[in-house]
Amino acid sequence: MTRGRNYQTEAIVLKYRPIGESDRLITFFSSTLGRITGIARGVRRPGSRLGGSLEPLNIVQVSLARGRLFETVSETSVIKDFDGIKSDLNKVALALYVAELTDSFADDWSSNQKLYDLVGRTLADFNKNEYPLYLIHFFELKLLKFVGYDPEFWECVECREKLLPDKYPFAPDMGGVLCSKCQLNFDYFPLHISLGAMKILRYLQRQKDNESISSGVTLPQLDLKEVSEILRNYLRFVAERQLKSTAFLDLVTEMPFGDTSKFT
Amino acid sequence: MVGDSRGATPPVQRLIDEFNRLPGIGPKSAQRLTYHLIRMPVEQAESLASAITSMKNQIILCSVCFNITDTDPCDICLNNSRERSKLCVVEQPLDVVALERTSSFDGLYHVLHGSISPINGIGPEDLKIRELLERMRTESFDEIILAMNPNLEGEATSMYINRLIGDLGARITRPARGLPVGGDLEYADDATLGRALEGRQDF
């Protein structure tokens, strides 16, 4: 979509950082324009009209003016502020991980409506009281699919032979699993997917792209941990960097209330 | 090199560049300040220079509350007329200055030096949270006020600390959210207005 001198779009606020005296550089993910970076002037002063609406994870209607280096944010109104997420530490950590992944994989000035819908739907699901534990892995898999890095769990990436559910080595650089014959041609595989984890990965991958995942299924905790490790590893390979928000995510999700042991 | 100051000699240009690094000072202001200093008597300029270096040399972080100070412990921590059972946790030393200006609080402070920002890779271990827990063990507080900035990162920091110290017995509070004095109701954002209504008080 081309943009005029002044234009409006619906967008998710992914992150911001302070710039200058009282301005912020804000990264949006727009439904029609992809990732956009805009300067919001004066937002750090109390009483700024833009202030509260440009918090990360908000979905906003934003008016932007075309700029040379960055766009200028002229007006915003909040469409959804997901206060159910913001009042729960675990959900904040999960949602910020979602935002960081989106920021890493979305392209500037290139619309990705499927990814936009996925991010909006995932945040809405986290905003509810109850959400399935595997929701984040569903998000990771669908994000990979929508940005063109869908991992292969059904057939060998080398010989294309269909694989029965079993334990297989996973090669992030090849984008999927290898069969027992082909793996002999390679000497080193740091990752192996167990049968349990493989079933979960296939189950999540098979779910419809454009619907929230149902929360009625219980999946074994141990296998989910493995799924998490495999996907993190693959995401790190594709993103070509260590994701920053995972450390905090692991810290809070593994910390029971009132546990001070991490600090003693 | 900044600004349109090609005619400036190197010592002058160096000062312009130094000024330009300061917050809120652009190339033009940097030039103006520099040329003002050129006209200034040398004693005044030296006094300014020594004020900067002695400030940098003399200030330290208070070993108790981590506020900026020139004595250790700082004046606030040593002051026995302050209420020692109340502790206000803030992000930055400037927040202490702002709260002191209100003269509505006479307890003690704890400065975290930042807020948790997962996207920027800043976690609890980068802040003075461990030190806060240590203080909770050695001193006794009735009330802990979590006065972090009312944004996502500040809230996350508050929730995290609340999770750590929620069971340690002290009452945990935070400042009310509401309408700014002298503001317009119609320009308040939904989140602020909603919180202001929730926290309404008897007239």
Q: Nearest CA of chain B to the CA of A49: how many Å? A: 7
3-state secondary structure of B177: coil
Q: Out of A81, A115, A142, pick the residue that ends a domain.
A: A81
Q: Which two tokens stand for residue A222?
A: 């141990």
- Predicted confidence at residue B162, as pLDDT, reads 93
- Predicted confidence at residue A2, as pLDDT, reads 67
Do A34 and A115 sit in the same domain of this protein? Answer: no
Number of domains in chain A: 2
**ipTM at complex level:** 0.84
- Predicted confidence at residue B97, as pLDDT, reads 95
Instruction: Answer yes or no: are the C-beta atoms of A138 and A145 closer than 8 Å.
Output: no
Cβ contacts of A15 on chain B, cutoff 8 Å: 119
Do A66 and A177 sit in the same domain of this protein? Answer: no
Ramachandran angles phi, psi of A67, nearest 5°: -130, 175
Q: Out of A59, A81, A103, pick the residue that ends a domain.
A: A81
Do A45 and A60 sit in the same domain of this protein? Answer: yes
Low-confidence ranges of chain B (pLDDT < 70): 1-6
CB contact under 8 A, A258 and B23: no
Q: Out of A81, A102, A131, pick the residue that ends a domain.
A: A81
Do A67 and A99 sit in the same domain of this protein? Answer: no
Residue with tokens 């710039």: A19
CB contact under 8 A, A249 and B23: no
pLDDT tens string A46-68:
767 776 789 999 999 999 999 88
Cis peptide before B73 (omega within 30 of 0): yes
Instruction: Answer yes or no: are the C-beta atoms of B96 and B145 closer than 8 Å.
Output: no
Do A115 and A127 sit in the same domain of this protein? Answer: yes
From residue B151, how far is each of A37, A55, A87, A165, A184 by CA, in Å? 20, 7, 12, 46, 53
CB contact under 8 A, B152 and A244: no
pLDDT tens string B4-24:
556 788 999 999 999 999 887
Question: Is there a domain that residue A263 lies in?
Answer: no
Q: Kindly tell me if the per-residue pLDDT of A246 is higher than 50.
A: yes
Do A90 and A197 sit in the same domain of this protein? Answer: yes
Query: Could you tell me which chain A residue has the CA closest to the CA of B183?
Result: A47
Q: Kindly tell me if the per-residue pLDDT of A22 is higher than 80.
A: yes
Any idea which architecture B79-173 has in CATH?
3-Layer(aba) Sandwich (3.40)
Give dist(CA A168, CA A29) in Å, integer.
36
Residue B190 contacts A where some CB pair is shorter than 8 Å? yes
Query: Could you tell me which chain A residue has the CA closest to the CA of B23?
Result: A21
Amino acid, res. A238:
V
The CATH number that applies at residue A113 is 1.20.1440.120
Q: Nearest CA of chain A to the CA of B132: how many Å? A: 10
Do A240 and A211 sit in the same domain of this protein? Answer: yes
Q: Kindly tell me if the per-residue pLDDT of A193 is higher than 50.
A: yes
From residue B94, how far is each of A95, B67, B70, B109 by CA, in Å? 30, 9, 15, 12
The boundaries of the domain holding residue A224 are 85-257
CB contact under 8 A, B118 and A257: no
Report chain A's mean pLDDT, rounded to a whole number.
89
For residues A222-240, average pLDDT:
93
Residue A15 contacts B where some CB pair is shorter than 8 Å? yes
**Domain residues of chain B, as ranges?**
10-58, 79-173
Candidates B92, B94, B117, B152, partner chain A, best to mutate (most A CBs within 10 A): B152
The enclosing H or E element of B108 equals strand B108-111
Any idea which architecture B10-58 has in CATH?
Orthogonal Bundle (1.10)
Q: Kindly tell me if the per-residue pLDDT of A262 is higher than 50.
A: no
- Predicted confidence at residue B99, as pLDDT, reads 96
Residue B166 contacts A where some CB pair is shorter than 8 Å? yes
Least confident of A28-42, A106-120, A211-225, B83-97: A211-225
Q: Which of B158, B146, B72 is nearest to B109 (CA)?
A: B146
CB contact under 8 A, B23 and A247: no
Do A134 and A176 sit in the same domain of this protein? Answer: yes
Query: Could you tell me which chain A residue has the CA closest to the CA of B184?
Result: A47
Do A71 and A133 sit in the same domain of this protein? Answer: no
- Predicted confidence at residue A256, as pLDDT, reads 53
pLDDT tens string B150-161:
889 999 999 999
Cβ contacts of B160 on chain A, cutoff 8 Å: 89, 252
Q: Nearest CA of chain A to the CA of B41: how many Å? A: 31
A1 pLDDT band, cuts 50/70/90, is low
Residue B25 contacts A where some CB pair is shorter than 8 Å? no
The CATH number that applies at residue A24 is 2.40.50.140
Ramachandran angles phi, psi of B35, nearest 5°: -70, -25
Question: Is there a domain that residue A57 lies in?
Answer: yes
Question: Is there a domain that residue A2 lies in?
Answer: no
Q: Kindly tell me if the per-residue pLDDT of A263 is higher than 80.
A: no
- The DSSP 8-state label assigned to residue B176 in this structure reads P
Q: Which of B149, B152, B201 is nearest to B175 (CA)?
A: B149
Cβ contacts of B128 on chain A, cutoff 8 Å: none
Question: Is there a domain that residue A208 lies in?
Answer: yes
Give dist(CA B75, CA B77) in Å, integer.
6
Do A47 and A132 sit in the same domain of this protein? Answer: no
- Predicted confidence at residue B6, as pLDDT, reads 63
> What is the model's pTM?
0.86
- Predicted confidence at residue B185, as pLDDT, reads 83
Residue A260 contacts B where some CB pair is shorter than 8 Å? yes
